[in-house]
Structure 1
Amino acid sequence: MENKTILETTKHLQQGEITEKKILLQISKTVKDEKNRSTLIKMAEEEQKHYDIWKSFTKVNMKPKMITVFIFALIARILGYTFAIKRMERWQNEYNVDSKTLKMLENENSQLISIFEDEIQHEKELMNMLDEERLKYIGSMILGLNDALVEMAGSLAGYSFALASNKLIALAGLITGISATLSMASSEFLSARSDGEENAFRSASYTGITYLFTVILLILPYLLLPDKMFGTALVIMMITVVVIIAAFNYYISVAKDYSFKKRFFEMAGISISVALLSFLIGLLVKEFLGVDL
């Protein structure tokens, strides 16, 4: 029974390696940068070495899981290859064997495990050599996202009961959002230029696009819901804020190896606090000015 478990475990690991190799080769076909493409091919070669190590034990051939290859190739297209590859490694770890079974495998062939661990370390070194362009501008993306969430969540919350009309709130939000997008992008451009960055325009583009995309998502509930359902639109908008923060922080936690919880609670806390404060200000302004729309 023990030998059967070891054999099945090794087959599982072997198939994982050949699947990762196929994913890396598939992704490398879409990468334009020669250095990064070369690194991906080297990583694929490492996966082949891992596969051969396990094959020397199982004595059988294993085919890659093509549906997994398709999924990760698609993720690379949408979210970038660095994110896809690091998520792939996490996937492999999540579906890895338990420590008891791995110990059994090590007892069976300790040299095999030692070689495998050396290969894994080399693979991590190769992964750290990846230099994807979009991740160079992660700071600009964070700037655009954070400012949009804080400013727009606060503004829309303040408008919600001050204006009490989804049409008016959406109108005010769009004007504020578009103006703020142009302001943020131009400020980022000037800041990058003053810091001597060669790609100041691209940095400003990432900030502006991230800001505008966030603005559109936050205003959508006010555009889609009936005019007087501004309270419901406000709740949906705040849920959207939390979802955006969670999704973005998950992305950078994988792609840049950042702490998810720390950044998530920090951004969520600031955005929600500003929105609640702005909501109260909107109520007070409406009350003291005697505005009744």
Structure 2
Amino acid sequence: MDFNKQYKEELFDSEVYLELGKKESDPIVKAFLFRMAEMEKKHASIWKEISEKRGIRIGKLGIKDKLMIKLYGIIRKVLGLELTLRLLESNEENDIEKYNELAKSEELDENEREKMREISIDEAVHEEMLTTIKAKDVSDFVYGISDGLIEVLAATSGIAGAVSNPLIVALSGLIVGISGTFSMSIGAYLSTKSEKEINEHKREKVKIQKLVDRGEVSKKLSQILSELGIKDKIAQNISPQLVDVAEDIIAPKIEESPLKSSAVTGLSYIVGAIIPLIPYFLRLGGMLGLITSYVISGISIFFVGFMIGLLSDVNPKKKGLEMMGLGIGAAIVTHLIGLLASLVI
């Protein structure tokens, strides 16, 4: 077992959370990050104690580690906190499983194994705390870029198969992108507005039910709590106490603005749509323009897929490669269709 490695990993994570916490403006999130830093520092001190007990010399974080800590601060500014934390987590082993295994290790004595079990519990709390950090705008932006990038890449590839003039290809692709931007923006606006209206109707309905029959509302709350995994008896006992805030449990208020959702979706879509068009606006035509478009689009799709993987708890590299393969594959198929069309024109 590499005791020094275990110590440095926990210390590194502690320093990253501390760095992110210092730069966070939201007081609640700042407190969360400092709490995480303290938790990881405690784990590092346990490894230090275990190592010193065996006469093992513990090293400090190196220059590379310190640069990586600063890099996470920069990534936070570019990608937002949620993606940064998920990126940090993706570089680690499954800590809960790791510490559960260490709690059975013969290399440790009973007291040390107990400390491993305690760390395992901390890591479970750690995972639960991380789920509270959400950045819907970031998620919407990433998915919007994905849509614009892949759709316009496929369309442009098909157009390039039928038309040789790179400027015409670029303008045609831009028209497709602008059309898609309006469509996606309007769709996002109507969807968010409709969701809010339905939600408000549910909340009003619950408020009326509270006035008419509090017992029925209590039953509904009990059912919801049971579905969330709370034991039936406990759910039945606490549900009457929650009737006054029933609407916040049954239909939590949606704060998202339809206009903001529309703007984020439209902006992200057109950002993605422009990427495949860059070579054609630079007057690169023929096979050179096509391959250049594929290369920059492929790299961009992989990066977007990587971020989607982080957001959806899927292997980021695998997700990035999968999306890149599907995106380029679709583009090649539409290019062949464009070539066939050129024979008819």
Give the TM-score band, short-chain normalised. Answer: 0.7 to 0.9
**Post-superposition offset of 1:259:** 4.3
Moved more, 277-286 or 17-26: 277-286
Shift of 1:161: 2.9
Does the 8 Å CA contact 2:158/2:338 hold for their aligned counterparts? Answer: yes
Q: Percent identity?
A: 25
Give the drift of 1:264.
Answer: 4.6
Kept in 2, the 8 Å contact 1:157–1:234? The answer is yes
Kindly provide the amino acid, as one letter, of the partner of residue 263 in structure 2: S
Q: Distance in 2 between matches of 1:160 and 1:145?
A: 22
Q: Are 1:42 and 2:30 counterparts?
A: no
Aligned to 1:284: 340
Change (3 A) 1:92 1:283: closer
Displacement of 1:246 in angstroms is: 1.9
Q: Deviation digits for residues 140-188 of structure 1, max 9, x if unmatched? A: 632x234323421222112213220112211222232123223212221
Are residues 1:53 and 2:111 paired?
no
Matching residue of 1:138? 139
Distance 1:28 1:288, change over 3 A: same
- Alpha carbons of 1:248 and 1:48: their partners in 2 closer, same or farther (altered >3 Å)? same
Q: Any residues of structure 2 matched to 1:157-172 within 5 Å, and which?
A: 157-172=157-172
2:138 counterpart of 1:82:
no
Shift of the alpha carbon at 1:83? Answer: 2.8
Amino acid at match of 2:27: E
TM normalised by structure 1 equals 0.79
Give CA deviations for 1:192-211 in whole Å, capped at 9, x if unaligned. Answer: 11111533233223322221
Structure 1: gaps (5+ residues): 1-5
Q: Structure 1 counterpart of 2:81, which letter? A: Y
Matched, 1:214 2:272: yes
What is the match of residue 175 of structure 1? 175
Deviates more, 1:113-122 or 1:208-217: 113-122
Q: Are 1:20 and 2:23 an aligned pair?
A: no
**3-state SS of the aligned residue for 1:257?**
coil
Matched residue type, 1:217: I
CA, structure 1 residues 140+108, in 2 after alignment: closer, same or farther (shift >3 Å)? closer
**Structure 2 vs 1, CA of residues 245 and 128 (structure 1 numbering), >3 Å: closer, same or farther?**
farther
C-alpha displacement of 1:50 = 0.6
Q: Confirm or deny: 8 A CA contact 2:149 2:274 kept in the other structure.
A: no
CA contact (8 A) 2:303 2:320 kept: no
Instruction: Work out whether residues 140 and 204 of structure 1, in 8 Å CA contact, stay in contact via their aligned partners in 2.
Output: no
Structure 1 letter corresponding to 2:162: A
Equivalence for 1:248: 304
Distance 1:203 1:132 in 2: 19
Distance 1:231 1:44 in 2: 52
SS in 2 for 1:129: helix
Aligned pair 1:33/2:89, yes or no? no
**Closer, same or farther: CA 148–90 of 1 in aligned 2, 3 Å:** closer
Distance 1:141 1:78, change over 3 A: closer
Work out the CA distance in 2 between the residues paired with 1:29 and 1:211.
33
Q: Indicate the residue corresponding to 1:236 in structure 2.
A: 292
Is this contact kept in 2: 1:19–1:63, CA < 8 A?
Answer: no
- TM-score (normalizing by structure 2): 0.68
Q: Is the 8 A contact 1:157 1:275 kept in 2?
A: yes
1:265 Cα offset (Å): 6.3
Q: How many residues align?
A: 274
- Gap regions ≥5 residues in structure 2: 197-253
Q: 1:205 to 1:62 in 2, by over 3 A?
A: farther
Contact 1:246/1:264 (<8 A) preserved: yes
Equivalent position SS for 1:164: coil
